[in-house]
Structure 1
């Protein structure tokens, strides 16, 4: 794949660093080693047959006297689009439903309780083109659209929470479009939805061309398997965004994304991991893979010639824990499923150890931020 010379950072390190040094290199780069999660042979064989990477890892907590371990398994799915971008809209949606559905089936074999898909998973990431049609035709209802019905079937069939990021069409409010993640309970009911809070305006990622900034705030969803939140894509660049989900009680924050190499790859391994540390929670970073070619050329507001693709989506999905450890990343080039077993007791244990929230001085920052957003604000600078 053009622009993707290696499959993953982890495999490159293993190939070139002597084993005696590799352990310390990994400790410094990735924190404490996560244990490998042994997955069923039927799941391994199914992933091989369906041509996607399957990884499993474990994040353990210390034994407590008054609480039993709170074990939950999450599944992160990254994938390339299936059909060319100029294929009929419903055929593209149906093909992606089929592809992701067969990965979810393997997630169920692995005992996954909560699965999350990548940002706008039912369509090409066409927002770079600045064209309205046919891309707005992918938008659908967050309550009763075909994708939500599909996710409800998966949730009921596998007793699994499904987090499904879609392009939402809000017919109630004048056909407004939103970048939305719908949370479907394992009962099959739509538990709720959360909308993307921060909209990028970086070259072709001026997504305000398509949808509005979210208006759902920082909702956290109480599920049978823990309290979860969804910080969609660009929101990962905003520390206060992660912070407010955590303040509302999130134990796991998913970050479904669609981001390309030149734009953000050096930031990718850092941001979700930093958020896990700062907010005493688990974070799950998910990115699509592949290069998506479009019929019409477009420019990228960078002075370069017009082109027909945005670049390569580098995958590398991973899970980070509140103790600073993180899983190996999935491939930069292949579809994949990462299964992570989490002991949610680790969130409080790390909070008790480091006390970032207890020492946060939020009243002080609230006062200063209140002043900073006023028109007559003057920076607190001391001069001679």
Structure 2
């Protein structure tokens, strides 16, 4: 069975692990068992008709005496591109808008308050090709572009915060391109944007052919439904990146991504989950799905022959909680919508239990890191 045919770890476990052992296996792999979220039958039927997977889970917190529950519903969307990569640019964007609008409509039926799409969701993941055209034509204004206006309409229609990761064209600074996430409030206003902090340089795959490291720092957005941040794709490999979003007060950190099996899959289930534990917050890992084929061949710096696809985007989107639990992932092969109900009170409850931030010794690390970045730095090694 090829990577692109293997549907999901969860399905394989359910098929082959004896029933008497399955609950223990799930406990070890996923933490405490989550309740399934009861979803409206109309939403289930609509997802089936529109050919995408729909799953829902509940992350509960203990009842408190002085605070009411802070419940929010979050939706994650993973999807394939709709048209071939050589179709006209506007046709590709429009087709993806329609596909995602259908999925957002189902999310609205499920009571979702905040929804996040995958990295560069309006286009093929063409950065692997190292070609400039026509891919730079997908870049849009974060404030006034076609896609942002589309997301504003979705937000107003469904009373939903929309996180829209796009390729941004910054006309103010000479048409500079950025890998950006636009956050649209449920009022329909653009709340702001945040840019990808870390750029992969793996083999000859170098996204700085298109854009460079972001310059917006670690912004956190105060929404009606909680404080959110967006750690775009490659930033998930950098623990300090998650840490700074948490330090700025993020209660939910989204990680919209586009990553393939041979490159990163063993890391996928670990990084966002570990970040949720270490930073006392919820994390939402979103990966696109499918295999995207390009007209011209390219190499990946791995010694293999030139090819026309980057590999299989394995989906597997999931949500992780600060107590170490996580949802099962969406399919590795299908479009999907994951709906999770989160009680944000769990963040402080776990912080009070484990005290990772309180015992963090940030002053010590700040001093030592400041020394380590100096040219004359000497590692603190004791020798005989």
- TM-score by length of structure 1 reads 0.99
Deviation at 1:4, TM superposition (A): 2.3
Deviation at 1:5, TM superposition (A): 3.5
Per the alignment, residue 317 of structure 1 pairs with 317
Per the alignment, residue 143 of structure 1 pairs with 143
Cα deviation, 1:8-57, whole Å, max 9, x if unaligned, reads 10110010001110111111111001110010000000000000000000
Deviation at 1:203, TM superposition (A): 2.4
Per the alignment, residue 112 of structure 1 pairs with 112
Per the alignment, residue 178 of structure 2 pairs with 178
**Distance in 1 between the 2:256 and 2:359 partners?**
30
Whether the 8 Å CA contact 2:4–2:290 is kept in 1: the answer is no
Name the SS of the counterpart of 1:267 in structure 2: helix
**Distance in 2 between the 1:201 and 1:39 partners?**
42
Cα deviation, 1:105-149, whole Å, max 9, x if unaligned, reads 000000000000000000000000000000000000000000000
Per the alignment, residue 129 of structure 2 pairs with 129
Cα deviation, 1:349-378, whole Å, max 9, x if unaligned, reads 000000000000000000000000000000
**Distance in 2 between the 1:284 and 1:44 partners?**
22
Equivalences for 1:59-78 in 2 at 5 Å?
59-78=59-78
Deviation at 1:289, TM superposition (A): 0.3
Whether the 8 Å CA contact 1:129–1:204 is kept in 2: the answer is no
Per the alignment, residue 97 of structure 1 pairs with 97
Name the SS of the counterpart of 1:87 in structure 2: coil
Per the alignment, residue 209 of structure 2 pairs with 209
**Distance in 2 between the 1:157 and 1:334 partners?**
26
Whether the 8 Å CA contact 2:152–2:189 is kept in 1: the answer is yes
Per the alignment, residue 4 of structure 1 pairs with 4
Deviation at 1:212, TM superposition (A): 1.3
Name the SS of the counterpart of 2:74 in structure 1: strand
**Distance in 2 between the 1:149 and 1:162 partners?**
11
Name the SS of the counterpart of 1:265 in structure 2: helix
**Distance in 2 between the 1:93 and 1:331 partners?**
24
Cα deviation, 1:176-200, whole Å, max 9, x if unaligned, reads 0000000000000000000000000
Name the SS of the counterpart of 1:329 in structure 2: coil
Whether the 8 Å CA contact 1:130–1:204 is kept in 2: the answer is no
Per the alignment, residue 154 of structure 1 pairs with 154
Per the alignment, residue 361 of structure 2 pairs with 361
Deviation at 1:302, TM superposition (A): 1.1
Per the alignment, residue 22 of structure 1 pairs with 22
RMSD over aligned Cα atoms: 0.7
Cα deviation, 1:212-245, whole Å, max 9, x if unaligned, reads 1000000000000000000000000000000000
**Distance in 2 between the 1:237 and 1:86 partners?**
32
- Aligned residue pairs: how many? 384
Equivalences for 1:1-384 in 2 at 5 Å?
2-384=2-384
Whether the 8 Å CA contact 2:5–2:333 is kept in 1: the answer is no
Name the SS of the counterpart of 1:290 in structure 2: strand
Whether the 8 Å CA contact 1:246–1:281 is kept in 2: the answer is yes
Name the SS of the counterpart of 2:216 in structure 1: coil
- TM-score by length of structure 2 reads 0.99
Deviation at 1:6, TM superposition (A): 1.8
Whether the 8 Å CA contact 1:127–1:204 is kept in 2: the answer is no
Name the SS of the counterpart of 2:73 in structure 1: strand
**Distance in 1 between the 2:205 and 2:346 partners?**
36
Name the SS of the counterpart of 2:266 in structure 1: coil
Deviation at 1:204, TM superposition (A): 4.5
